[in-house]
Amino acid sequence: MELKQAAKDFGDGYDDKKGLFPYEAFNIDNVNEVLSKSEPFIMEDFNSSLKKTKISQQDYQIYLEDAKRLQFKYKIDMFSFMMSIPSLPQEL
């Protein structure tokens, strides 16, 4: 069975594209502050100065829907989650 077929058969109905990530929203100086916030990232956080790209309104709306769904479904605390990754706290 191919991955796409498995995702279709067993997935939750959401597409299999790579997700969005606000790489430029935080850095080594503000990572704790940013990851401890409970509100979604703003649209500008997804813009990339490296690639000179901006997130579309449609992609941002998809992010907002996903963020809401995942936060309420799993009650994710991003700060605790990131601090549970073994190598990350040592680097902070």
Q: Give the position of tokens 């997804």.
A: 46
* Residue carrying structure tokens 């929203």: 25
| pTM exceeds 0.85 for this model | no
Domain presence at residue 5 = no
9, 44, 51, 78, 86 from 14: Cα distances, Å? 11, 24, 26, 22, 29
- Number of domains observed in the structure of the chain: 1
10 is a domain residue: no
Q: Is the pLDDT of residue 81 over 70?
A: no
- What tens digit of pLDDT does each residue of 20-51 get? 788 888 888 998 888 788 788 999 999 989 88
Q: How far apart are CA 55 and CA 15, in angstroms?
A: 18
- Structural domain including 82 reads 15-91
Q: Tokens for 18, please give them.
A: 């790579």
CA angle 43/64/29 to nearest 5° reads 50
